[in-house]
Amino acid sequence: MSGMIKNYKIIISYDGSRYDGWQKQANTENTIQGKLEALLSRMAGSAILVHGSGRTDAGVHALGQTANFRMDTTCSEAELQAAINGYLPEDIAVVHLKTASERFHSRLSAVGKIYRYRLYVGNGKPVFDRKYVWQPDGELNMDKMREAASFLVGQHDFRGFCGNRHMKKSTVRKITRIDIEKTAGGTEIDLTFEGNGFLQNMVRIMTGTLVECGQGFRRPEEMPEILETGERQMAGKMAPAKGLTLMEVKY
C-alpha cells in the first residue's frame, strides 16, 4: 500500500539541554534534526531529509522550530504526528503537522523569526528554571539596555554580532523589534527579538552586549560603532545558550 509523496510542515518544541544543536553533523548523532531524520527514515523504510528553518546552537531551546520533509505514507496527519511523538524522546515534541504546498520550504519560505532570551534577576537561585535562564552578575539597568537595543532595531549589517568569522553571504538583516520586559513577578528580564533572520550566535552576542550595557560596563552609544565597523571583538561576550529559545518562525 502506497500513498503519494506529500510535503509535510512540522513545528517542533525541544529542550536543547541534552543536544548538540538542531543541525545534523558528521561527528555526532545527538542533534534534533538527526533524531528526526533517523526516526522518519526508519518509519518510511528509506532516507527522509528534514529541512529546518535554520540552526539552533547546542543547548538552545525551541518552542516553535519549523521544518518540512517529503514522505510517501497512507497515514493521516494525526496518525503520523502521533507516531512520530511516540518514538521521539520526551524532550522533543512535534506540536503541529500538516501537509503543505509542494513549494513550501521551511528555510526559504520563512519571512521572520522570534527569539526570546530569559535573564534571571531574582535574589535567589532559579531552581526549576535553571536550564532555561541565565543569571548575569550585578544589577541591570533596563533603561540602558533598551537604549542600546534601539540602535540595533532596523536594517543593518550585523557582521559585528556574528559568531562566524568566515561568513561569505550577506550579513545584512532587519530587526523589527527588541522588547525588554520584566516578567515572572519581577524575577526575570526577558528579551524578545523579532527580525527577518539572524546570523550565527547573533541573538546571544546581542544579548551579552545588551547585558553589559545594563551592568554599566559599556555605553549604549557604542552600538552604532559596532555596527559600522563590523568588528566582532568590539561587541560583548556571547550569552550562554541555555537562556535562549526560538519561539516562532513566521511564513
Q: How far is the CB of 136 from its own copies (least distance, A)?
A: 15
Angle between helices 77-87 and 32-44 (to 10 degrees): 120
Q: Is 42 or 130 the residue whose CB approaches its own copies more closely? A: 130
E strand residue ranges, the chain: 4-14, 51-52, 61-73, 92-100, 112-120, 154-157, 172-183, 188-195, 244-250
157 counts as catalytic: no
Q: Is 49 or 88 the residue whose CB approaches its own copies more closely? A: 88
Exactly one of 72, 74, 79, 95 binds its own copies (CB under 8 A); that residue is 95
Of 10-18, 24-32, 141-149, 193-201, the segment contacting its own copies by CB under 8 A is 10-18
In single-letter form, the type of residue at position 245 comes to T
Site for its own copies in 51-90 (CB under 8 A): 61, 85, 88, 90
Q: DSSP readout, 8-52?
A: EEEEEEE-GGGSS-SS-BTTBS-SHHHHHHHHHHHHHTS----EE
Catalytic site residue from 57, 129, 143, 157: 57
Q: Looking only at Cα atoms, what is the longest distance across the chain? A: 66
Site for its own copies in 217-246 (CB under 8 A): none
Question: Number of H helices and number of E strands within the chain?
Answer: 5, 9
Of 13-21, 34-42, 142-150, 189-197, the segment contacting its own copies by CB under 8 A is 13-21
Q: Is 118 or 159 the residue whose CB approaches its own copies more closely? A: 118
Site for its own copies in 106-165 (CB under 8 A): 124-125, 127-128, 130, 132
Beta bridge partners, 190, equal 118, 181
Q: Which residues are catalytic?
A: 57
Q: Residue numbers of the site for its own copies (CB under 8 A)? A: 13-15, 61, 85, 88, 90-93, 95, 124-125, 127-128, 130, 132
